[in-house]
Chain A
Amino acid sequence: MDHPILHIIPALPLSAVLVSLLVGDRLGKRGTTVLACGSVLAAFGFALQAVLHLASLPEDSRSFTELVYTWMSVGDFKVDVSFLMDPLSAVMVLVVTGVGSLIHIYATGYMSHDPSYRRFFMYLNLFMFSMLTLVLADNYLLMFVGWEGVGLCSYLLIGFWYERPAASQAGKKAFIVNRIGDFGFMLGMFMLVVATGSLDYERVFQAAPHVFVAGGTAITLATLLMFLGATGKSAQIPLFTWLPDAMEGPTPVSALIHAATMVTAGVYMLARSHVLFELAPTTMEVVALIGAMTALLAATIGLAQNDIKRVLAYSTVSQLGYMFMACGVGAFGAGIFHVMTHAFFKALLFLGAGSVIHAMSDEQDMRRMGGLAGKLPYTHGTMLIATLAIAGVPFLSGFFSKDEILHASFASGHLGVWLAGVVGAAMTAFYMTRLYVLTFRGPSRLSHEAEHHLHESPFSMTVPLVILAFLSIVGGYVGMPFQEGGHAFERWLHPVMAAGGHAGEHHEVSRLVEWGLIVLSVGAGAFGIFMALRSYLWTPAIATSLRERFSGVHRLFENKWWVDEFYDAVVVKPFMGISRWLWRFWDVKIVDGLVNGVGYSLEAGSAILKLFQTGFVGTYALWITLGVIALFLHFLR
């Protein structure tokens, strides 16, 4: 059977990078724009074609792979560079290329004044290549290649404005924190190789139920290590601290990498490996717990931040927590659903925030904004839609996916997780409304200078906003609840999720309870919105008095629970101390001492020996004679 070619999807952005590298600055700005956006748009086209072909296949054989070449073959162990298209990777590929294209177009406007325009798009295209490799890979090792690739691009793009110390620091932090997670992922992969002898998804998943005891130590450890990798990439407790700092990068980067695509790689990995995770109930509990804790913790921090991008960053961490909650309670499909809707509205929020920042001449503090609604009509309208979507207002995309996660956690009996989700939803609604009100409503708090420069963004920026806003509205309708045999999105993912045999099991709750849950979560969202409107728009005095009454709590939230300071004291400082000791004592004294010592002793030895080499021929002749006499005496004794 003829399948559409898959390798061209990641190959297109990669070739754009290579062309850009070869041609160099002769490419020009227009050339860069056409090349970068064109390659990603073309990749989207090819992805769409592949997905349409996939949809035309019968449900039980709805996946196909394409072998590009065999990467390594060592005895029985074989790794291919081959790509897999199945319903799960289809969703991811469409989100990555679709949202990616929009963000590329947006970036042509946002970065238009930057002197390193070409370098920016080269990194962005390299990111697209890595991310597409990650989601299209058909084995863990190739996925890991993409995994590391996106980490590298994340580092490069966070530190894009490398002349700013904060940016290069944030880049390093992101990279190092991610390495910790990657290490766990690698160990997890090693355990899989040892147990199953392969890294191919198909072979691993087939072998796993036979070689692992369900709930045993081996599988629990392996999945926990893989989850550690996911916490690094997807910014969960304990490795979430890099994501808020990553906001030092240009805003389109925050939207693409640190909201819509890369950070969801962890969720994708979990969903991809659901067969393994379902064998380890303990890991699942840990995942659900970590997800719920992260969702709550990040939401509380989001309540008290004043930097518009930081609020969104913590919101992203919190929403990623929801996705892990879903995976932890066994609703991997719901997690991926939230990945998709979140990609739409969070990308929109970041791009909108970027548009605001662009208009405000690089001001990011919400306390110096306000009243922008009339000045930035497109930005305002689309941001409002995204805010409502993430707050869980009914009939917008965020409502469907978040509700499904809450429903799944309630139905599977994780009441604590469910409660955390509901409270988190209320807080999400609160801080998002707060962001909206502080930015667009109320009196203008702009400086005179900023007021003067205020302008709506160009079309290249507003058009992606409008498209994303449209997607944020309708994106959830594929997951309409109350349908026989699950909704469309669930049925689409069914071939993947049924593979383990477990995922089919549905915790049914009665219609009445389901309605009750929806009312509760909508009520929580509405409460959050109402409280935010009341304390920031209608009577701003309330916000001040609340802040004073709960000053301790406020300080806790504002200072991010002092997690960074804690890590600094517990991990970074001792580590630096040890490193300094290794440098000043071990390296300088011992290692250098040994090397220099060899030199010094040789020098001292030669200082004695060189006394014999006088340069006078007579002396040498004397020594020779003495030597001959000595031999003479020795042999004729």
Chain B
Amino acid sequence: MIPLNWLISLSAIVFCIGVVGVLVRRNALVIFMSVELMLNAANLAFVSFASHLKSLDGQVFVFFVMTVAAAEVAIGLAIIVHLFRLRETVFVDEIHLLKG
């Protein structure tokens, strides 16, 4: 059986890749994928703990997270498509109208 520490470390690494991806990439689609990475890192942590603790709670949580992620993707992609139609770009640093 794989030790819990390895699994958690993998989860942390994937999460950090997601965070860095969100922070450094300009393409909205890639940022979106990075967010998915972060969510799945969290899922990985959930199932790891579930199997370690012999409890189903963590696995149930994962299903919820997946559902939410699916909904988020549907709305997020719709927004991005619409954005592209209006501005002909998906680079987030070119979209900065809403500011003080």
Contact = CB atoms under 8 A, between A and B. Distances in A.
Max count, chain A CB within 10 A of own CB: residue among B23, B26, B95: B23
Contacts of A625: 19, 22-23
Interface stretch (A156-164, A171-179, A213-221, A607-615): A607-615
B23 A606 contact: no
Contacts of A622: 23
A636 interface: no
Interface in B47-100: 92-93, 95-100
Contacts of A616: 92-93, 96
Contacts of B93: 616-618
Interface in A562-612: 606, 609-612
Interface residues of B, number: 13
Nearest to A606: B100
Interface residues of A, number: 14
A621 to B, nearest CB: 5
Contacts of B95: 615, 617
Nearest to A611: B100
A609 B100 contact: yes
A622 B26 CA distance: 13
B72 to A, nearest CB: 15
Nearest to A607: B100
Contact of A621 (B22, B97, B98): B22
B32 to A, nearest CB: 11
Contacts, number: 33
Contact of A618 (B23, B97, B98, B99): B23
Interface in A77-117: none
Contact of B23 (A613, A615, A621): A621
B23 A614 contact: no
A489 to B, nearest CB: 85
A616 B31 CA distance: 13
A618 B24 CA distance: 8
A613 B19 CA distance: 21
Contacts of A606: 100
B22 A615 contact: no
A618 to B, nearest CB: 6
Max count, chain B CB within 10 A of own CB: residue among A609, A612, A615: A615
A618 B91 CA distance: 11
A613 B22 contact: no
A492 B31 CA distance: 105
Interface string B14-49: 000001001100100001000000000000000000
A615 B99 contact: yes
Contacts of A611: 100
Given A618-B23, A622-B23, A613 B99 contact: yes
Given A615-B95, A615-B99, 18 more contacts: A609-B100, A610-B99, A610-B100, A611-B100, A612-B100, A613-B99, A614-B96, A616-B92, A616-B96, A617-B92, A617-B93, A617-B95, A617-B96, A618-B23, A621-B22, A622-B23, A625-B22, A625-B23
Interface of B: 19, 22-23, 26, 31, 92-93, 95-100
5 contacts: A611-B100, A615-B95, A615-B98, A617-B95, A621-B23
In the complex, the 5 A-B pairs of residues with the closest C-beta atoms, listed nearest first = A610-B100, A615-B96, A615-B99, A613-B100, A617-B92
